């Protein structure tokens, strides 16, 4: 039977959903095996754990499935997010909020390495100067802390956890910070084109 003929949400919501859940478990495990096949830090036991956790999340979030993709595609996206989030958490669990906050403080005071300003064209120096002032004056300490986390490659979920907030609030915090910096650069007469050409790699 083709997948389009299976009404997964209905089968999974049914009181007697055991065989549908079992079938989905097999599909999710196979998908995670493909998604994580290049990761040497993932064992068969990890795959089993991720699959179990994914099934719980998929069942809890069935209402979020819009029906605009195949159900299994949506379910695999949830499973991949579950697995990657856990792997990122393990990798970055030792970063502390204090270190990030301190980084944010430094960002306000001395954001750029000396080479950035001495080896720069005049245009670039002006841009960095405007950017520095915007970072110091237009952003809150929490916004600077979040930006430092992002620039250090910290996963968004870790930034969220360290700030002690939720994902949506943290996204808004960062989005507002980026908007404030963008507005400040525009108000200083620095066009997007100048920014791009000045900082072309």
Partner 1 sequence: MNPLNSQQVRELIRVVDQTREVEITCSECRDAVGEYLERRLAGLPIDAALERVEHHFTLCPECREEFEALKKVLNATG
Q: What residue ranges bind partner 1 (CB under 8 A)?
A: 30-31, 34-37, 64, 66, 68-70, 73-74, 76-78, 80-81, 84, 88, 99, 102-103, 106-107, 110-116, 127-128, 131, 147-148, 150-153, 155-157, 167-168, 171, 175, 178-179, 181-182, 185, 192, 195-196, 199, 201
Quick one: 16 or 178, whose CB is closer to partner 1?
178
Convert 130-149 to b/e letters by CB count within 10 Å (16 or more is b): bbbebbeeebeebbbbbbbb
- Shortest CB 15 distance to partner 1, Å: 27
Name the burial class of residue 105, with classes exposed (0-12), middle (13-18) and buried (19+) by CB atoms within 10 angstroms of its CB.
middle
Quick one: 84 or 165, whose CB is closer to partner 1?
84
Pick from 87, 82, 85: nearest CA to 56: 82
- Shortest CB 148 distance to partner 1, Å: 6
- Shortest CB 192 distance to partner 1, Å: 6
- Shortest CB 121 distance to partner 1, Å: 14
Q: Which helix (H) or strand (E) holds 66?
A: none
The pair of three-digit structure tokens given for residue 47, joined into one six-digit string: 């795959």
Quick one: 16 or 93, whose CB is closer to partner 1?
93
CB atoms within 10 A of CB 120: 15
Quick one: 20 or 145, whose CB is closer to partner 1?
145
- Shortest CB 99 distance to partner 1, Å: 8
Quick one: 77 or 187, whose CB is closer to partner 1?
77
Packing angle between helix 122-138 and helix 97-109, nearest 10 degrees? 130
Q: Are 158 and 90 in contact, with CB atoms under 8 Å apart? A: no
The pair of three-digit structure tokens given for residue 163, joined into one six-digit string: 């700030």
């Amino acid at each position: 039977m083709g997948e389009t003929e299976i009404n997964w949400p209905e089968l999974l919501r049914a009181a007697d959903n055991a065989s549908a859940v079992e079938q989905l478990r097999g599909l999710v495990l196979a998908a995670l095996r493909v998604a994580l096949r290049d990761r040497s830090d993932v064992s068969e036991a990890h795959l089993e754990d991720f699959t179990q956790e994914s099934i719980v999340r998929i069942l809890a979030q069935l209402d979020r499935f819009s029906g605009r993709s195949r159900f299994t595609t949506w379910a695999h996206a949830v499973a991949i997010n579950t697995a990657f989030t856990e792997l990122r958490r393990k990798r970055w669990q030792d970063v502390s909020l204090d270190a990030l906050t301190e980084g944010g403080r430094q960002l306000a005071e001395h954001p750029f390495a000396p080479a950035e300003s001495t080896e720069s064209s005049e245009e670039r120096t002006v841009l960095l100067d405007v950017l520095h002032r915007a970072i110091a004056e237009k952003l809150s300490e929490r916004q600077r802390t979040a930006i430092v986390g992002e620039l250090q490659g910290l996963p968004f979920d870790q930034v969220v956890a360290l700030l002690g907030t939720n994902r949506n609030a943290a996204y808004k915090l960062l989005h507002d910070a980026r908007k404030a910096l963008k507005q400040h650069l525009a108000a200083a007469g620095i066009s997007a084109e100048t920014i791009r050409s000045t900082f072309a790699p």
